[in-house]
Amino acid sequence: MSLEHFIKNAISEWMKVKGPQSDIVFSSRIRIARNLSGLPFPMLSTDSQSEEVVNRVEEAWKTNKQELADLAAAEFVRMKDLNELEKRVLVEKHLISPMLAEESRNGAVLLAQDESFSIMINEEDHIRIQCIFPGLQLEKAWKLADQLDEWIEKNLSYAFDDQRGYLTSCPTNVGTGIRASVMIHLPALAMTQQLNRILPAITQVGLAVRGIYGEGSEALGHLYQVSNQVTLGQSEEEILDKLQGVVYQMIEHEQASRKRLQEISSVQLEDRVFRSLGILTHSRIIDSKEAMKRLSDVRLGVDLGLITDVSANVMNELMVMTQPGFLQQYAGSRLDAEQRDIRRSKLIRERLGLENRS
């Protein structure tokens, strides 16, 4: 396996599997923040100190990776060995964060072969463990993250306080250091103008709602990332139970809105879905924001059974492949905005054409 495996394949292996509630919940993610004892946190560390963190983690992995089968097949990649385009592709696949790609001086990542987990080094904290599974599978993601966390703690010493728990750069991560999140698709709630009522209510119960790339990003294609905000004073089970309970309510609201649209506005709904499919199939230029909006409509049509000759996996694939980094990686060169918009429309036409013929 090589870095090329992660860069050239738009859809991760875990994305090809249908998970529970996958018509609405795209993915479940667990992220654990940790720091090594005896070294300054990344924002205060020198180049030599941050390099030491990378070396310690890499050495622990090389020496003890046979203890976990998933780690034995993983790939260790340093950010300095990647160009800007390769970093952007990994961000678009949610394998690394924008912060690691843009700001880390001595960053690295340990990538699972099936891309179900990545361990980022020298992001906001020394170590960020991330595990992703399709659909609503928070407990399964937590089980893997916990195994990886125990493996690291067995081989490296964490910064820990008996009263505060695990110590992190951001105060909101102190304690368990766990962020649980789901990527949820809410097109019907958006169409029925209910999101403005539901999203503020979610933040009032201690959860955060963000865009597809986390904090500060935009909710393109009606995709939202819902996660816990506080880790101190809550157990892992409490964090997961609270988030899962709210997500089930969001699923129920989305399902009710979809049913209402089919009952009351079936012609308008079908027109919107097939109009978007027509634009994607025949357009010659399309920007990323409109592409995500149209892909969201078509994905809704697929999930409702209105469109039967396009698979949900193709929609997942196109939502990644049409992002700027992947388009340029596919082209083999840097593209300006108009060139990307032209290539994006061509790629969508070709992919939908292949799907229909198959």
288 annotated as ligand-binding: no
Cβ count within 10 A of residue 79: 24
- Contact between 336 and 20 under an 8 Å Cβ cutoff? The reply is no
260 is in an annotated binding site: no
Asked if residue 226 belongs to a known ligand binding site, the reply is no
Bridge partners for 279 per DSSP: none
Residue 27 known to bind ligand: yes
3-state secondary structure 18-63: CCCCCCCEEEEEEEEEECECCCCCHHHCCHHHHHHHHHHHHHHHHH
Q: Is 48 annotated as a binding residue?
A: no
Q: Is 30 a known ligand-binding residue?
A: yes
Q: Are strands 223-228 and 178-185 parallel, antiparallel or unpaired?
A: antiparallel
Q: How far is CA 115 from the centre of its chain?
A: 11
User: Is 215 annotated in some ligand binding site?
Assistant: yes
325 in a labelled binding site: no
169 assigned ligand-binding residue: no
Alpha carbons 322 and 280: distance in angstroms, whole number:
12
The DSSP string of 272-306 is HHHHHHHHHHH-S---HHHHHHHHHHHHHHHHTTS
Query: Is residue 273 classed exposed, middle or buried when 0-12, 13-18 and 19+ CB atoms within 10 A define those classes?
Result: buried
Confirm or deny that 208 is annotated as ligand binding: no
* Those residues with Cβ within 8 angstroms of residue 40's Cβ, 6 or more apart along the chain or in another chain: 46, 49
Q: Is 34 annotated as a binding residue?
A: no
Q: Are 254 and 24 in contact (CB under 8 A)?
A: yes
210 in a known ligand binding site: yes
**31 belongs to an annotated ligand binding site:** yes
- What's the length of the chain? 358
88 is in an annotated binding site: no
CA 91, 3, 344, 24 dihedral sign is negative
Three-state secondary structure call for residue 108: strand
Residue 349 labeled ligand binder: no
Residue 181 among known ligand-binding residues: yes
214 is in an annotated binding site: yes
Who contacts 298 (Cβ-Cβ below 8 Å, separation ≥6)?
273, 276, 277, 280, 307, 310, 315
Tokens for 332, please give them.
């083999």
**Would you list which residues are annotated within the binding site?**
27-31, 94, 128, 179-183, 210-215
Q: What residues are designated binding site for ATP?
A: 27-31, 94, 128, 179-183, 210-215
